[in-house]
Structure formats: C-alpha cells, structure tokens
Amino acid sequence: GNSVTQMEGPVTLSEEAFLTINCTYTATGYPSLFWYVQYPGEGLQLLLKATKADDKGSNKGFEATYRKETTSFHLEKGSVQVSDSAVYFCALRRGETSGSRLTFGEGTQLTVNP
Amino acid sequence: DGGITQSPKYLFRKEGQNVTLSCEQNLNHDAMYWYRQDPGQGLRLIYYSQIVNDFQKGDIAEGYSVSREKKESFPLTVTSAQKNPTAFYLCASSGAQETQYFGPGTRLLVL
C-alpha cells in the first residue's frame, strides 16, 4: 500500500538557519506529492505540491523537488524565521479521479528560536 | 470569501452521547473528507464523499457516521460506539484540481 515516512522531530533551529525535513514515500505508479503546514490550533494549509517527477514546488521560500529515483520529496528553506514554527506534513495522492485519497506522514514539529 | 468552515471550535461529549460536527464549504468542490488527528500522529481518514448522496468509509470509520445531502455540507456524527473520541477533527474538500483544502478544525473532548 501507499505510505509516507518523515524524519522524526522535533526539530529546533535558530533564526536564519537552513532547514531540511526529509520525506520518502512508497507508492505504485505516479503519485502527486504535497507539503502541508499546521500552525498551533489550526487546520492544515497547503504549502507546496508537485505532480510529476523532477517537478519543483515552491512557496514562501520553501522548496521541494519530486525525486522518483530516490522516492523522496524533501522540504528545504534557506533561512528560517520564528514565524515558520509549525508542524509540517508530507502527503501523497494516488488516483486520477475526483476524491482521490491522501496518505499523510506523521508530521515534523519545527521550532525556530530568535 | 471562499473557504471551509467547521463548527463548533470546541465540543464536549458526555458518556453515551452522540455529537455532530459541522463542515460547510462554498468552494463548489465535489469531494469532501473527514480526518482525525491525534497528538504526535498524522491524519487518518474517517469518511469521504466524492459526490452528493454518496460516501465511502476511510481507514477508521467505526463509531462514526456521515451524510451528504447537499454539495456544500458534510456533517460528521461521533456516535456512542466510538470509545476514544477525544481528538482534533479536520474537514477538507477538493475540486477538479484534486488539491485538498482544510477547515480550521473542531476539538472534541469527553466530559
């Protein structure tokens, strides 16, 4: 079946540090890949996505590249801010019809200190 | 503004009581979803609906029920059969682009 594995947290960084959160997946075929962010007490917000191999998703300084050869979709940011403190979820979607299900990783808690 | 609303923000359930969580969207999306989130865990799918008057069980449907009488609405009932209902419940919807968008969530607590 489909599965997503994220690096274990929590991750604590100082402001302006470089961020990498690893995500690998198992799926047949060609899934679409997503990163969502969840701020305390809130729902999930879509951060970025990629729908085919070698695509790079980017938003708000975050980037992730869909690597089919390594089945990975690692999230990176060159210089984190205190406001980036949140939980980050990697997810994949199989299927081409409306209502395709998402499979989520367990989430990685990021804390950025000033 | 278009979006997804969930109510209430906090909900308290007594022993043996059924409670209903509301989810409404004005995005004109066909598909809607309910997830459960427990501390330190990812989201688990409870039920989903691809079209009005149709829905399917997700991975943890036992103790829950849903209805989809209108495109905009997908309420979730947590029944007394759900023995461990304390969690954060998230509703989502998706349209032709398939990307799922989430509501702000409802936190259910047991008295």
| CB atoms A101 and B99 under 8 Å | no
From the list B40, B43, B49, the residue facing A104 with the nearest CB is: B43
Q: Whose CA is closest to B19, among B59, B72, B65, B88?
A: B65
Closest residue by Cα to residue B89 from B29, B34, B47: B34
DSSP string computed for A22-89: -EEEE-SS--EEEEEEE-TTS-EEEEEEE-STT-EEEETTEEEE-BTTTTB--EEESS--GGG-EEEE
pLDDT tens digits, one per residue of B45-79: 999 999 999 999 999 999 999 999 999 999 999 99
pLDDT digits (tens, 9 = 90+) for A59-113: 999 999 999 999 999 999 999 999 999 999 999 987 655 457 889 999 999 999 9
Partners of residue A40 on adjacent β-strands: none
Contact B31 A44 (CB under 8 A): no
